[in-house]
Amino acid sequence: MKFIRAARRHGNKALRGHHREAAALFLLWGMMQGLVSLADRGVYRLAGFPPDAPLSREAALVTAITLVFRAVLLAPLGAGASAWFAALAGGWTRPVTTIFWAYGNRVWLRALGVRLYTGFAVGAVTLIPLAGEGVSLWLLQERLEALPPEERTLALAGAGGAAVLWLLAARAYAQRFAMARFLLGPDYGCTAGEAIDRSVEYTRGYRWRLVGLDLTFLPGFAACLLILPALWVLPRYAACRARCFTALYRHAAAERRPQRHQAPAGAGPREQKSYC
């Protein structure tokens, strides 16, 4: 809880006075998402398939093409937004147009590589066990129907609880890659492979704490369904995460520096610090 409170406090402090710029950044992000969605519909129309057409081999191919199209066009946005919030966490600001920064250099390919790798890894870890549970329930459908109503409800509730617990575990697994896009920014300049490796290293021991931070924003995420609250919730969430990532990076860098002074013999352990 100390980590989460510190993250929210320092994130809100970093965002103070810059909320309008952060909201404008997310508006630009939403506009780009909308334009790409319109382009998706255009691809379907040109191929002769409306977006709600029944699934076929041709429709599946068009869907795969549009997914690649979305990834190629939208992956740099995340790197640009992370670069903006990284500066904010460091105590200064960049122009809102930094969200388009990665489109003009090789970070475009790095961001795409990070997105594809982490998306595949997290998707596999999340979906394969859930698919296995779904198949098991389908195979046991007749036995479940033969159970008394109370036992059937209990069995389904147990399966649902197991799915929720697995989703939390998968979210914790996803935190190992949480800093990768952040480390692609101009303040760090990592390649895609370096960003992934360092993210795994820097988040070790803090992944469940990052999940806890996400859970504290759940009411805000629910309010985002009303659209306008998203302009208040998403900047705060991004600022808190960026502040945590900056602190974890500095902590890792400090641990790598050679110790100039040895602790005196018999000295007790130092008091653990909060790295947010």
Q: Please write the tens of the pLDDT for every residue from 156-197.
A: 899 899 999 999 999 999 999 999 999 999 988 899 999 999
Please give the pLDDT value at position 274. Answer: 46
H helices of the chain, where? 2-15, 19-47, 57-90, 107-139, 141-146, 149-174, 192-202, 207-216, 218-223, 230-256
Region 83-102 average pLDDT: 91
Q: Give the closest residue to 184 by CA, choosing from 115, 119, 251, 235.
A: 115
Give me the torsion for CA of 97, 102, 105, 108, rounded to 10°: -150
Task: Determine how many CB atoms are found less than 10 A away from the CB of residue 167.
Answer: 13
Q: Residue 270's pLDDT band (boundaries 50, 70, 90)? A: very low
pTM, two decimals, is 0.83
Dihedral sign computed on CA atoms, order 94, 95, 98, 104: negative
- Nearest-angstrom CA–CA distance, 235 and 257: 33
Dihedral sign computed on CA atoms, order 169, 174, 167, 230: positive
Label residue 90 exposed, middle or buried (CB < 10 Å: 0-12, 13-18, 19+).
Answer: middle
Q: What is the pLDDT of residues 46-82, one digit of tens each?
A: 766 665 555 667 667 777 777 888 888 888 999 999 9
